Structure 1
Amino acid sequence: MPSLDEAVTGVLTEVVDRAGLTLDEVTVTSAGRRRVVRVVVDLPDDGARDEPGEVSMDAVATASTAVSEALDASDVLGSAPYTLEVSSPGVDRPLTLPRHWRRARTRLVRVARTDGGELVGRVAEVDDDGVLVLLDPPSVKGRPPRAADVGRPVRLAWAEVARGEVQVEFRRADDDPDDDLADDLADDALDEDAPDDDALDDDENDDDGREDEQ
C-alpha cells in the first residue's frame, strides 16, 4: 500500500506537469489535527537542457492554485483539514538527479563521489551520461591550491556521482576585476570633484539659516 506522500504525489504529478513544471518533492506531515502538505516544483527537464534558471514566482503561484484545486477534488487526504505550501527548490537542495545538475550549470558545487572521495568545482556541462566539472579546489591551511588543478576538467559518469551540494559564493569566479577597478576610479573622481567640507557647511546654513535636506 503506498504511503500518503506517494498517494499525494500520484494525484499531483500530472497536475503540475499541466502547469508547465515538474513535481520535485511531496511531503505530508501532521500538525495537531491538521496536515501540512509541502510541495516543491521545478522547471521541466526539457527546459533545463537549454540553460540554467529558476522557477518564477508567477509559475509557483499558478502551480499552487492548480495543486490546491486538485487536492480539494480528491479524497487522498480524507476529511482532515490541511495547509498547503508550494515552493521552488532552495540552494541547499542536494543535487541527486540529472535535472538538478542541469539547473546548477555554472554554479560551484561540492561533489560527493560513490567511491567515498569528493571534489569541488564548477559545473560546466551536463548530459545523459554524466557531468563535466572544472576543478576549483579550496585552499588548505592557508595554502592556495596548485595552479595545475584550478580549472582542470574532470568528467564524471552518473554512476560515479553520489550527490552534489551547491556552494554559497560571495564573489563569482567569472566576476571581472576590471569592473571593480573602474568603480574605484569613478569614486576617486567623484571625491576630487566634490566640494570641501567648509563649502558644504556654508551652503547648508544659507537661505535664512534653513538646512538643506540630504
Structure 2
Amino acid sequence: MSTVSDSIRDRVRAVVESTLADEGYDLEELKVSQAGRRTLVRVLVGRDGPTDLDAIAAVSRSLSKALDEAEETGGPFAAGSYTLEVSSPGVDRPLKLPRHWRRNIGRLVEVPVGDETVTGRIEATDETTVTLRTTDGARTVAYGELGAGRIQLEFSRPAGDDEKEG
C-alpha cells in the first residue's frame, strides 16, 4: 500500500470529522492509503457510552453516505472508489486523553506515574485529573503526570462490583 497526498487525507478528514461530530462520536484515528486503484480509509471512532456492532454499522453507513456525497461533488478520491473500514478501539489501546480515561471508569488499569507503575481501578475523572482506587486507597493524579495507561483484562470482577463494563 502506498500513501496518499496530504490534500486527499485532509479532505477525507474534514468529511469524516464533520459526520462523526453529527453522530456524537470522536475521531480517534484516521488512516488513508492507496491500495491499487482503490483508496483505503480506516476510521477508529469512540464515544461516551457503549459502542456495539450495531452502533459501528450505523456510523459506517453514515460515513459511507457522506463520503459518497463528497465524491459526487469532486470528492477526495483520485480513482473515484474507496474501501471504508470503521471500528472502535479495543482494550489494548493505550489511555492517553482525558476522554479515554473517562470512558473507562470502573476498569482496572496499569499506568506509569513518575518512576513507578501504579495498578488501580479508575474511580473518577475530571478535566485535569484521574482518581485510581489502589490497594493503598484512592490516589488522584494529574493527567500530565500519567504515562499511557493500559487496561488490565479481568476474567471476573471483584465481589460486589456491579459496575457495568462498556
**Length-normalised TM-score, structure 1:** 0.64
Question: 1 CA distance for matches of 2:159 and 2:36?
Answer: 49
Query: Is the 2:38–2:79 Cα contact (8 Å) retained in structure 1?
Result: no
* Cα distance change, pair 11–132 in 1 and its aligned pair in 2 (3 A): same
Query: Is the 1:133–1:154 Cα contact (8 Å) retained in structure 2?
Result: yes
Consecutive aligned runs of 4 or more in structure 1 exceeding 3 Å deviation: 1-7
Query: Is the 2:130–2:141 Cα contact (8 Å) retained in structure 1?
Result: yes
**In the alignment, structure 1 residue 111 sits paired with structure 2 residue 102:** no
* Cα distance change, pair 39–111 in 1 and its aligned pair in 2 (3 A): same
Residue pairs, 1:1-214, within 5 angstroms: 2=6, 4-43=8-47, 48=48, 53-74=49-70, 75-113=75-113, 115-135=114-134, 150-174=135-159
Question: 1 CA distance for matches of 2:85 and 2:100?
Answer: 21
Q: SS of the residue aligned with 1:9? A: helix
Give 1:2 shift.
4.2
Letter in 1 for 2:24: G
Q: SS of the residue aligned with 2:148? A: strand
Give 1:173 shift.
2.2
Give the root-mean-square deviation of aligned CA atoms: 2.2
Letter in 2 for 1:157: A
Q: SS of the residue aligned with 2:76? A: coil
Q: SS of the residue aligned with 1:84? A: strand
- Higher relative strand content: 2
Listed one character per residue, the Cα deviations across residues 33-76 of structure 1 (whole Å, up to 9, x for unaligned) are 33221112211xxxx4xxxx321333222211111122122222
Letter in 2 for 1:159: G
* Cα distance change, pair 103–3 in 1 and its aligned pair in 2 (3 A): farther
Ranked by relative contact order (alpha carbons within 8 Å, sequence separation 6 or more), the top structure is 2
Q: SS of the residue aligned with 1:95? A: coil
Letter in 2 for 1:94: P
Q: Tell me which moved more, 100-109 or 73-82.
A: 73-82
Query: Is the 2:107–2:151 Cα contact (8 Å) retained in structure 1?
Result: yes
Q: SS of the residue aligned with 2:141? A: strand
Question: 1 CA distance for matches of 2:7 and 2:157?
Answer: 42
Query: Is the 2:37–2:79 Cα contact (8 Å) retained in structure 1?
Result: no
Question: 2 CA distance for matches of 1:3 and 1:162?
Answer: 33
Identical-pair percentage: 40
Q: SS of the residue aligned with 1:162? A: coil
Which residue of the partner structure matches residue 164 of structure 2?
none
Count of residue correspondences: 153
